[in-house]
């Protein structure tokens, strides 16, 4: 429905159905940081960050959260939705993606990964905002495949305007079927940490890629392509797109596939690479031994190559 106000047309928001059972898979994280009664930075008011959120992502009581919530903690406690508090063990974490895996002694219903969402698709954020306990805010998908935002070395974000505030880190961004679109990770803010409608969740594809490694190997094993690239700048952007290969490492997959210094990488597995961070994300989403399809441009000629990622 729309309402005409003078020359301004205001569109009412569509109703968003929320799966109530999603709340059973999202819990409050209470880390104890050194030197602070409740954890957190000096001056942090009670009931606000650094409390966080966690999501049940694997059977056996395995929960995903943001590494920055728990990495400095001397003790981590989980508050279940029935009010019980139980200890959590930090299984492993990955600093490049800001993802951590916790284990608790109680199984929980696991959220299923959603397919990559469409722009404008309704989503809801479930997080422990300002330490008040899990709550729900809803909005839409503003962008997908965001990288190079500047929070983490490896980024594959879903951007949303659903309200997110401190304490939501590690929370769930879900679609209308209750499937996990991503894990709440970061917000853009100007002078405070309050929501301004530009919020980011680690995509479910990257989240599950990382936590599966953390569970099975104790670390995130990023595959190697064997190339270094740089962003185009200046006059290059008038006539070209992609990222330029600055180095091909000897004996690694890119060299074996015939990639040369100076080539432009236009896309990886169909994912446009307008900046180097997009290439980093595309590689991180794959596993050692996977084939990676690169679209290149060399001296004005389009080329397609496939390389096998190494460990």
* Active-site residue (options: 68, 94, 168, 185): 68
- Asked about 98 being catalytic, the answer comes back as yes
Does residue 264 contact residue 241 with C-beta atoms inside 8 Å? yes
* Active-site residue (options: 98, 161, 175, 263): 98
* Active-site residue (options: 25, 147, 168, 169): 169
- Asked about 169 being catalytic, the answer comes back as yes
Quickly list H helices, 94-144: none
- Asked about 310 being catalytic, the answer comes back as no
DSSP characters over the chain: -EEEETTEEEEPPPP----GGGGGGEEEEEEE-TT-SS-SSTTPPTTSTT-EEEEEEETTTEEEEEHHHHTT-SEEEEE-TTS-EEEEEEEEEETTTTEEEEEESS--PPPPBPPPPPTT-EEEEEE-GGGS--EEEEEEEEEEEE--SSS-SS--EEEE-S---TT-TT-EEE-TTS-EEEEEEEE--SSSSS--S-EEEEEHHHHHHHHHHHHHHSS----B--EEEEE--TTHHHH--SEEEEEE-TTSHHHHHT--TT-EEEEETTEE-SSHHHHHHHHHTS-TT-EEEEEEEETTEEEEEEEE-B-
Please tell me whether residue 309 adopts helix, strand or coil conformation: coil
What residues are labeled active site? 68, 98, 169
């Amino acid at each position: 429905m729309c309402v005409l106000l003078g020359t301004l047309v205001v569109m009412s928001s569509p109703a968003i159905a929320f799966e109530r059972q999603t709340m059973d898979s999202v819990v409050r994280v209470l880390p104890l940081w050194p030197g602070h009664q409740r954890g957190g930075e000096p001056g942090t008011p009670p009931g606000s960050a650094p409390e966080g959120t966690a999501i049940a992502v694997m059977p056996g009581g395995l929960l995903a959260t943001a590494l920055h919530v728990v990495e400095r903690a001397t003790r981590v406690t989980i508050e279940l939705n029935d009010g019980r508090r139980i200890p959590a063990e930090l299984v492993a974490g990955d600093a490049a993606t800001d993802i951590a895996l916790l284990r608790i002694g109680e199984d929980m219903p696991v959220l299923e990964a959603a397919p990559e969402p469409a722009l404008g698709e309704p989503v809801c954020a479930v997080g422990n905002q300002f330490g008040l306990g899990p709550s729900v805010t809803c909005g839409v998908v503003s962008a997908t495949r965001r990288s190079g935002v500047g929070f983490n070395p490896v980024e594959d974000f879903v951007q949303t305007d659903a309200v997110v505030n401190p304490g939501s880190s590690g929370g769930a961004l879900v679609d209308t079927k209750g499937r996990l679109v991503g894990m709440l990770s970061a917000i853009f803010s100007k002078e405070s940490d309050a929501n301004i409608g530009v919020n980011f969740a680690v995509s479910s594809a990257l989240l599950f890629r990382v936590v599966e490694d953390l569970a099975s190997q104790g670390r995130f094993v990023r595959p190697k392509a064997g190339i270094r690239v740089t962003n185009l700048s200046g006059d290059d952007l008038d006539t070209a797109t992609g990222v330029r290969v600055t180095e091909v490492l000897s004996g690694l997959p890119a060299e074996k596939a015939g990639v040369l210094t100076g080539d432009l990488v236009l896309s990886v597995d169909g994912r446009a690479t307008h900046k180097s961070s997009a290439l980093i994300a595309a590689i991180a989403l794959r596993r050692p031994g996977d084939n990676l399809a690169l679209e290149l441009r060399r001296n004005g000629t389009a080329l397609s190559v496939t390389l096998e990622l190494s460990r």
